[in-house]
Amino acid sequence: MKRMDRFTALADPTRRRIVEMLGQRAMAAGEITAQFGMSAPAISQHLKVLKEAGLVSVEVSGQRRIYRLDPEGLDAFEDWVKQVRSFWNGGLDRLERELAKPDDA
């Protein structure tokens, strides 16, 4: 099964909110559902998308499903930001050097 792109998974505001909530602590699916004005199956679908994207993990505890953030999924975001930042900073450094050159006019 192809893993869903993490950015695509977080394009939805409900899923972003779920990730923010799980950033505070692990939560049961019912606790998450109680924070939204939508059905349990709808929240379950959001959780499934987040799990497929590698952003959350689930642990079955009796009849409950406990969700928590998956550090590996978050590390992938951090790696991407570092890559983009290094490219951007390098470009700004080159621009600064060019602007510092004396005019030949």
Q: What is the pLDDT of residues 14-49, one digit of tens each?
A: 999 999 999 999 999 999 999 999 999 999 999 999
* Residue 104 banded pLDDT, cuts 50, 70, 90: low
Residue 48: closest CA among 75, 67, 34, 31: 67
pLDDT higher than 80, residue 7: yes
Going 70 to 71 to 76 to 78, the CA torsion angle's sign is positive
Q: Write down the mean pLDDT value for the chain.
A: 87
Q: Give the global pTM.
A: 0.75
Give the residue-averaged pLDDT of 89-95: 72
